Amino acid sequence: MRTTVGIIGAGPAGLLLARLLHRAGIDSVVLESRDRAYVEHRQRAGILEQGTVDVLRAAGAGERMDREGLRHDGIELRFDRRRHRVDFPALTGGRSVMVYAQTEVCKDLIALQLADGGPLLFEAEALAVEDATGDRPRVPFRHQGREDVLECDYVVGCDGFWGVARNAFPAAASRVFERSYPYAWLGILADVAPSHDELVYARHDRGFALLSMRSPSVSRLYLQVPAGTKAEEWSDDAVWAELERRFETDDDWTLERGPLTQKSVTPMRSFVHEPMRHGRLFLAGDAAHIVPPTGAKGLNLAVGDVVTFARALVHAQETGSPDLLDAYSATCLRRIWQAERFSYDMTTLLHSAPDATAFDARLQLARLERIASSRAAETDLAEAYTGFPLTGAGNNPCA
């Protein structure tokens, strides 16, 4: 097989990149090791930044999102039994976020790709990336019981942390920055209407808790638990009781209970691989970086990566200049490190470390008090949470 851009991975990054390239008249082939049902049902992020929303709309993938997604104009910080709302539009010049699950983004992009895009091969396992520094890198892959090779002008690895793309980078040219956290998130899905109409981030002496949602009738909630915790260690009643403790306030707010349909544990880590380009191989999304989920940045960073690559490739084809492709890694990493910083700040602001002292707890409360009392501090949080706009996203994401 032969194509201009070989894309490894049909998560939101790979699928969106294929869509952007198709609309720019550039052919691509997407290789996905899992089947379609798996891709459309794996639970991941659910918060889309303003820039991500704008890109999906401009790419023709926003119709169902706008119909079924939930626009949120703020979040609530809860600490010391108090409640403080951060008003995003008032602090950012009108920006907001959208609650729309990654599963739904993937369903929308898959439908578009199969309807009018280039080849999208499910159960096609990429085995390696070969000759990344040559003019025609190759991706050997296995599909339907036989092996084949995809020849490309460029390869973009959107295949996640455990994929093959990053392994093609020589060790001598790679730098890894990472941090593991001594806690994890116990996440639940519950068939009950959310108990608040916006996300609630709660700092409590017993640990962090987050109230989120997937729809007007399905709640998504999280509890901080020790690293290594197994989901089956927590009974449904114990989960609800602990959530009630951590969300407690001095007013009459109550947490509504409902039947749990899913329970899982998410480890917490920060990870960045530098550089994100090796020859004609480019990394995007979790293949290059991981953030703790507290800042809701993972999917949004992946979108920023593929928009940056698509614009750079269009620019190279239109002008003959490789300048933007050459700058890909540096351009992406500036945004990535700001997201890493914000995600780390939010995580350490709201979670209780196992070795935390009374001094540490007081500092957390002082930081939260500062956000609640200072418009400058509150604006910094709102700008980072809603995401800095991608230039041109409201028009042509490849412009």
DSSP, residue by residue, 211-260 = EEEEETTEEEEEEEEETT--GGGS-HHHHHHHHHHHT--SSS--PPP--E
Round to whole Å and give the CA distance between 108 and 183: 34
Q: Counting beta carbons within 10 angstroms of the beta carbon of residue 158, is it exposed (0 to 12), middle (13 to 18) or buried (19 or more)? A: buried
Task: Indicate if the alpha-carbon torsion angle 367, 369, 372, 376 is positive or negative.
Answer: negative
Per the listing, tokens 């550039």 go with 26
CA neighbor of 286 nearest in space, from 149, 162, 190, 115: 162
Catalytic residues: 72, 201, 293, 297, 385
Encoded amino acid at 239, one letter: V
Q: Are 175 and 276 in contact, with CB atoms under 8 Å apart? A: no
Round to whole Å and give the CA distance between 99 and 180: 27
* CB half-sphere exposure, 54, CA atoms < 13 A: 20
CA neighbor of 286 nearest in space, from 20, 102, 137: 102
Nearest-5° Cα angle at 77, 71 to 80: 160
Tell me the angle at which helices 102-116 and 12-23 cross, rounded to the nearest 10 degrees. 40
If one counts every other C-beta atom within 10 angstroms of the C-beta of residue 191, the result is 11
